[in-house]
Amino acid sequence: MEDKKKQAAEAALTYIEPNQIIGLGAGATIGHLVEFLKDLPALDTLRFTTSSYKTKIHLKQLGLHVLDISQISEIDLYFDSCDHYDLELNALKSGGGIHTLEKLLASMAKEFVLLVDESKLSSQITNTAIPLCIEILPIAENFVQQQLKRKYPEAKIQVRTGQRKDGAVITENGNMLLDVWFGAELPLEQLNHSIKSTPGVVEHSLFYHLVNKAFVAGENGVEVLPIFSHRPTKE
């Protein structure tokens, strides 16, 4: 498994050009990519930004030029992994609970490239052991939970709590996280709109039609998907 993550990360190097601003997400695959960056001949012309505190520390330890997200409004490429993806390259990114910042960088990017291994493929990304994670305003917790129970009565909803902290996880934005298990496959376009339009919701972890392409590592090497994309590449 780790070898496949390295394969996907190494394949991303061929996509990087001099003088670009590169956005990076979190996780083991991105960690491998950061290590591979050291060997790029044009490394001193690149600038980086990231949605992840851990990735930011990694980049700075290597002496790379790191920009704060607040300094920029557009980047050339955003590389990230995910918990699950489907054949239309919709992605579920719940584990780190930083999906609001990840979506911001994905939307800033001329191209959003997913780095994954083939085991992450799922035909039913809302019906897995990984929940949909929703960032919410703390004062809206009761209201949002009520609305979710009304819309999805079969769903299991749980406030995300810290492993080494008593109480709820608080995001970089000062908000709370709700984990939602639907236990069924739902229409993704409808789900995307329904959750996002609920007052008190800041953002959710379903990346619907945001990915331009994916580097998928498998037994036969790395495959680039798709030939097409729902999301147009920015000029």
Q: Quick check: 89 and 121 in contact, CB under 8 A? A: no
The secondary structure of 125-148 as a DSSP string is TTSSSSPEEEEE-GGGHHHHHHHH
Task: Return the closest-CA partner of residue 23 out of 100, 96, 104.
Answer: 104
Strands 201-204 and 132-136 turn out to be antiparallel
Q: Using CA atoms, how far apart are residues 126 and 142, in angstroms rounded to an integer? A: 23
The secondary structure of 59-75 as a DSSP string is HHHTT--B--GGG-S-E
Q: Quick check: 116 and 8 in contact, CB under 8 A? A: yes
Tell me the helices (H) and strands (E) count for the chain, helix number first.
Answer: 6, 13
Joined together, the tokens standing for residue 109 give: 């990017």
Active site residues: 102
Q: Quick check: 104 and 51 in contact, CB under 8 A? A: yes
